[in-house]
Amino acid sequence: MSGGLFENTTIGFIGAGAMGTAMIAGLLNKNIIKADYIIAADPHEEKGEKLVQDYGIRFTTENIEAAREADVLVFAVKPQILHRVMNPLRGKVDHASLIISIVASAKMRTLVGELLNSRVVRAMPNTPAQIGQGMTVWCATDEVEDRQRRQAASLLGALGEQLYVDDERLLDMATALSGSGPAYVFLFIEAMIDAGVRMGFTYRDASKLVMQTLRGASEFAQVSGLHPAQLRNQVTSPGGTTAAGLYELEKLHFRTAIAEGIWAAYQRAVELGEEDE
């Protein structure tokens, strides 16, 4: 257990789908909290049975039950049903409890207004969280106490890496960069594999080459601490193959295509946030 940070703390989950389950698994695998102190609510009995069997946590089909018990209540439902889910819980969650929402584009102001609870953390994780390799960016209302901030960091850290930001607008930017980020990388992976197949590799071999290249390059960039341009220069010899490849990519606006794609995602995140109000 993490130095009593979660002593006598019950964590409730509203929604036990992909992300809720990933968080539960991360918390237990990292020994952050004991299974008895987790209660998940979801409409599906069979999901509950599996959670109880796999993790030994408690389960209910009644959101209000988890909400009443929780000292930390995590909202992990789809954005389109959030309002419907929050409505019956309005004023029912202890005012001292911490609310954590991972629901895309739901603003802190909306959560505070609908639940009548001022201690709110809004977080944006990404899909690799499902294997404990996520990147989660989060912010908190001023009312969230110091211990609750440390609890939020620990909980969100169970999904992989976490980063606190003190300006909610950075969450829209994070949505575009790290939230949607895996999709850009998956597209890049797909395109590289296709290029390998075009040259004559089997899909399986091309896949192996591409995955390991991405993993290796990403870890190398992190470990070396060098600017990516320096690393790129290291593999680019004059008149060589990499120079020829990079020249074509730049000519076809590879860099600007990425920048414009991320900018469009950011604009969309801002728009969706405005619709939420």
Ligand X SMILES: NC(=O)c1ccc[n+]([C@@H]2O[C@H](COP(=O)([O-])OP(=O)(O)OC[C@H]3O[C@@H](n4cnc5c(N)ncnc54)[C@H](OP(=O)(O)O)[C@@H]3O)[C@@H](O)[C@H]2O)c1
Considering Cα of 142, then 144, then 146, then 151, what sign does the dihedral take?
A: negative
Nearer to ligand X, 183 or 191 (CB): 183
CB of 277 to ligand X, least distance (A): 17
CB of 217 to ligand X, least distance (A): 23
Residue among 20, 160, 181, 196 that touches ligand X (CB under 6 A): 20
Residue among 2, 9, 118, 127 that touches ligand X (CB under 6 A): 127
Residue among 26, 179, 196, 273 that touches ligand X (CB under 6 A): 179
Segment contacting ligand X by CB under 6 A, of 17-25, 184-192, 206-214, 263-271: 17-25
- Contact mark string toward ligand X, 33..72, x via CB under 6 A: --------xxxx------------------x---------
Interacting residues with ligand X (CB under 6 A): 14-20, 41-44, 63, 76-79, 81, 85, 102-104, 124-127, 129, 179
